[in-house]
Structure 1
Amino acid sequence: MMVIAPGRPVLSIRWIVAGAAAVLTTLAVLGVTGVMERRTRNVLADEIETRLLLEARNLALASSSALLTDYPELLLAPLLKEMQARQPELAVIVVLDRSGIIQGHPDVRRIGTTFAPPKDLQRVPYPAPKRRNESLEGNATILLVSAPILDANARILGTALVGMNRSHIERAINQIGKPQPVILAAFLGTGFAASFLLMSVLLRPIAALRAGIERIGRGDLSTPVDLADRTEFGMLAVAVNDMSSKLHKAQGEMVERARLAHEMELARQIQRSLLPSEQTVAGEFIINGEQWAAAEVGGDYFDVLPLPGGRIALAVADVSGKGLAGCLVTSMIFSLLRAYHSSHASPASLLSALDERLGEILQRGNFVTMFYGVLDPETGRLVYCSAGHNPTLVYRREPERVEWLRSKGIPLGSIRGGAVGRTLEDSVLQLARGDVLVQFTDGVNETMAPADEEQFGFERMEEVVLEAARAGARRVLDRLHNAVGSWRRDGLPMDDETVLVVSRERVADRERQPSTGPGHSSIEVAAALRRFALAEERGICLRLQADFDSLNRLQVWLDRSGILQGLSEAAAGMLSLALYEACANVVEHGYDVDPAQSLELWWVAGSAGSDDQPAHGSFLIRDRGKPFRPDPWKPTDFEDPGVRKRGRGLGLDIIHGTMTGIAYHPGTEQGNITILDWDPRMAHAGDGEHRHA
């Protein structure tokens, strides 16, 4: 059943088309009639003027012999009277001699008098070829023609004048146009009726088309529109049936694509779960990596694994091909690496074992390039081996330069029979404080600019690393990814991009607010993680971008969450300022003011106090920026004139003066966690004075 919006009348297309045809026909006929009428008026006017001219010439010819006699009026008077009787529409019939004296006139009383022409005469264009001394003149009431009277020697004897009133001309023309409105009305009525009947016949198929389209709208894509019509409506019915068939097919394909998309999303989630989700902190080393797949799933892989003795295993692999096939191979590498990483003494032996196993699995023509290294965080010594993988980029802090470490190994699985293992050898690299190691897949350096297809290249990677290395592993990772994206512009990535950054950070590079103690045991870290889990379960969260403008939301969050309820204005101001300083430290030193990053501020209320005191609780800050090595905090000596002159750098004093307890846990599995315990009763007690913990 056709659904029509209430209150909206349905207009019949038959009436619309017939009415439009009638209007257009009327306009066309009126236009043509107007043009023809003007043309007819012009033709009739020309004909009458020509007739007047001929009358004047005939009168001149008949009067020539009479003017040669002594008494011309005796011959001309009867002639002119007969002419006027025969043509009463002529208003002027006069014969003049050369002196302008009337020699012939229907009224004999005018003979012998001087002729007075009508006033305001103006020349009128001739409708016929003009002879010498002839003229056609007129004004608003009369049209007057003059013709010369000549003798046998073409000498002028006088002038013959014939005139006609313009009213007679208008009546003649109007008489011809009287029947036109009746004819036009009959013609238009017939045309409208014919148009309506024709449209009714032609538009009959619309009902069948409407019913078919309504069935499609209800989801019935299998019933075709049955319409045997040889007009465009028949073609439209065929198109509707074709559309319905294609929609039916597309519906099935859409369901299948949705199923495949769901499976690909599951595969993507599984692959992402195989990769490290957090940065790794081992001694002075920060290890951070990221993968950006060209498709839903990719053929790149990286991993960071703990080894006995506190050592760390680093792996980066690139499977030939991408998509689902590459994802399956990376899953195999994930499983094999976890099975072998603890049982092989050197990276070369582990890669040889992987080559032997992958050679049994991979089809010929498929291979894997792989970098594998073992890092000792205590000494900074890295033993590594590369199986045909990209060279390793090493940034040296002192002296500031970049090195490229290449190897002669060939890809895993490329050649059977153990030939790969004979090309693999271990190398040793010593990383000093401030040094950064970058390992990557070829999707990074081979990214092409869309304009000229120039690759990003190793030199540009050097420039990015040299500029960002001092800011730590996360900064190198982000700047390198952004630089590659800017180089590619709006183009889609042609290959997976994976980067692993190992940074040995110096104490000078990690200046953020210190913790209350020099370090934390695993028990303290576990307790901090439990407190963070409790915050996620029943706390209130504020997520902030890593820029200072975003921190302005702190005050609104504190007001709306009810944390400030019951506090004095001074205590509320100190709490807001302390939280701002703590978050600002993370934004400035942890993220280098990068709005693309974010941090979380949680509030977990403790037990309630008395009726006139609010509940105490804890604020927890979680971020994934650069961690730091905490040092003991020392209160600022405000009696020192240098401190008062400096006027800044007092953020830690504000935090310690407001909070009852402060703890910082860098590099946990949940990121860097800062815990700020707060007791509002101490805030009340401290109104008006500055406290130091």
Structure 2
Amino acid sequence: MFRKVITEECRVPADIKYLGELRDFVTHVGRKYGVPERILNTLRLAIEEAGTNIIRHAYRDWEGFITLRVYIRKKDITVSLIDQGHTFDLRKVRDPDLRRYVDIGKKGGLGIFIIRKLVDAIDYRKMEEGNELRLIKRIPEMRKHLLPLPGRNLPLKLRYALFSNIVFVSILLIVTGIFSLHQKSRILRTDLEAGRALAKTLAQQSVVYLANEEIIELARMAAEFQQNQQPLMYDALIVNSADIVLGAKNVELIDEPYPVPVSASRVGKNVLRFRFNGKIEVYDINEPIVSQPGSSPIGHVHLLLDKRAIDRKIREAQFQTLRVFLVLLLVGVAGIFGLIYLIMSPLKRLVRWMKATSQGEIQEEVDFDTSDEIGEIAYAFNEITEKFRKSQENVAEQERLKKEMQVAQEIQHTLLPSRFPKIEGYEIASYYEAAREVGGDYFDFVEVDKDSMGIVVADVSGKGVPGSLIMTMIRTALRTEARGNKNAADVLARVNDFVINDMKRGMFVTVFYMILDSYNRTINYASAGHNPMILYRSRTQKSYYLNPRGFPIGLNIPDPTLFRKTIESDTIHLREGDVLIVYTDGITEAMNAQREKFGEERFLAVIRKYGHLSVGPLVERIKEEIKAFTGGEPQSDDITLVAIKEKLKAEDVLFNLRTKLLRMVAEEGLSVKEACEKLGVSTSTYYKYKKRFEKMGADGLREEVARSEVEERHIAIEDKVKILDIVRKHPEFGPKRIREELNTEAYGFTVIDEKRIYDELVKSHLNTRELREAFAKRGEKGKRMKPPGTPFLTLDGQIIFDTKSLVTLPPPVQVSEEAKEAKPSPSLPPKEPEKEEKIMEQIPEEKPEPVFTPEMEPQDSEVKEEEIFSPVPLEESSSGEEILSETPENLIEDQITNSIGLDLFEEELSGIEPGPEYVPEVVEAPELFEGAGEEGASVSLPHRDEAKIASMVREMHRRRWFEAGQWFYQQGMYAKAIEEFTKLVEDKPDAWEAYQYLGNAWYRLGQLDKALEAYQQSKSINPSNADVLENLGVIFAHRGEYRKAVWQWGEILKWHPERTDILERIRRMQKWLRERAEREK
């Protein structure tokens, strides 16, 4: 019923010279499977005409390929031509007026008409793969059947019934035949056994008479036996040891020898079959007659069973079997016909319904019963029909999106600058490459005043027309607000105020904006959540990643002034040969065919290698390196880069300006006022430098410009690596000790003052010992030891391209015993590598971008028992170090609340329902030992009341449970740890630290559901615990619930907006989810 369709395929470039390959391919396939030559000739001509139309019309604006598929069925052959060019439906073309063509002498234009005449059916459809033209040609019946069976054209129902009945009758005949044979054997065996029993009885009764040779009694006894067993028994004979008959019904046989013919055949033991006296066929049962057991027989009994009587019994039994056979035959045949009807009737109704559905005649809804195969088929067909209908809608939607993308591309190309402005003392070059889809990258050059120019690089979160409209708004706002404003942070704040109310919820823009002042030779810059700007100083071969504080434009935040309060700007002076690079993440996230990223490491390596070149060749080298790495693979994000290089020192620019001013007055004849106005300087400046020129000559026009060096306020990434390495190894070191450690041979005798080190620790949120210890603990587990958005470097500044080696780091230096006593810090077991592998295994089938990194392992935060049972005293700060209770980041923590969670993730998390908001319950914990920690304080139990004593005992139990559970956990005895922490939470339900330990322990045991429940309990008590929120995200990632994982990580930003590493992880996850959704389409 179901036959496999033969399918062959080839693909050639859309060029006239490849049409011969298409024709040859169809010929080869057709001959291979026995298609008549006449049909192949027709198809070759049709393919010639159709291929020519595709090449000339579908690919008139670009080059492409033609895919040819051949489908061979029993009754037809279908040729499918697929292209990705312009859509053109042949079915909508009318047949030409041939008479008119003859009258006007027109040549050509008959290709479609010829195709219609050559083939039997034409189909055209728009699919995701492209435009498909199907040419169908029927194959005439070629094979002749040797036996013209009438059943070949019978309905399926009747064919199934006939086949089933033939099988049923055959089986019934075989069973009946076997049963009849067994029945015959059984009847014969039964009668012979009965005869033996009678022969034994007769032999026992005739012993005395035979011994005395009483012939009359023996004859009477034989006659009675025969009379009682008629018609089975033909006769009973009693013979003596000499085989002389002494007793018989037929007296004529008495005193005669027993007549056993030579032709007698043995049937069984003591049983012969022969014709008695040549007349009646009998079975002779021979039974010896003995006077005493064990003695020789004195004679024999011969019972002659009539074979006719036995055969009569067998015939009666067989006749009865035949009647049963006929009844079963009639019932079976009728049952089969009825069953086939019952089975096939729903199928027949299904066929009618499918035909009506395919013709669009079904208007009412149908409820399918999928409890049987027919219902499943109907349901599957309905799903296929629905999916096909939706696919057609999707095709239309894709056409709409394609047009929308074209509009967005036109808008984007209009917005991008067509030429580069010239500004004295700087070289500027850019590189922009659009993604396969319209991205959201934007860069522009804005005139601030006659001496200053603004450069902006932005990345819009949305794509398509909405993203392009946002770019238009940003461009308009920036050009409006930038005029005359040399404060980059204020410009971005004004732009945010301009666009915030018009941006769609969930969209945002990251912007990096700098202002180049050619007169004062300064660069003022600000960042709204964008990638850092890279400053490469070729003179010292140091790299600076500059990124002032600020979050993206367009986030809906309850406090509208928060953006202005938090965004910062900075000003730097460049030296000759310095290179500034502003870019978007499309560069570092560019991928090759193996889904490997270009990365910050390769990017910095290219800058270091070619940083000595002018910006034009430098940008070309960067472009070539990216192209070589990606291998021409289409990218999912735009690539944008702007490079600036200082080519003149500030002293040289001012010298040229002063020289020009003096020449304009002395040589060009301009008045002092006119020359000063033209150059934008005061007249006092002219007289000042004229006097210096007359006194000192040309040297008087040159002055050393006082400037602040970048090194005074910023630390190079090469030196940051060294600081982070010291923090990892010695978390107890403060800025002073770090400065001393840097100035050692191990760190190249690096000299950095304490204030800059402390400022860097504050920026990195490592300004307290507790933060540094947590950082060192993360490093012990393979956490990334670098700021987000920067490359991995060795201590000597070499770039590490293979970051896998960073997963296992050497343990930090042990803290002294005094430090341990001052602040206990129990170490938790490191993560298990196989857990990381399980996370990596959940990433799908085409080796997508690695979303999970070693840092995404559930965190074993260092929970101190003092945090549960008593206040933790603040440690003494090291030299130059203070414990900041309130940083600028803390000031904005309450303001960013749900903005990130609702705006940044609304698009990805629209299908997830968040849980109920947590309402904290205020619980007053009893003090453990009153006065403990005070000088001279003592504990006096007898003077406390019973309630205080009971409270103390209870707290002692809690402490013991916590310490025991903590010890068991550290020893890897997770089941025991769970027992202790369970006791603690049963007695103290608000012990969120114990719930966190329970979650860690259950995770180590592989019980993800229980770990999830424990983490959620901890979160409900302490919703701001970043470790718990991060672990919840990892649990959901383990379970494949990636959207919920993103939601949990978004909660971290709600409480800890400074966690840029979490923001980066979320953005990678969002990108991966979008790419996976595109692949599934």
TM-score by length of 1: 0.48
Structure with max Cα Rg: 1
Structure richer in helix, relative to its length: 2
- The structure, 1 or 2, with the larger RCO (C-alpha pairs under 8 Å, 6+ apart) is 1
Structure richer in strand, relative to its length: 1
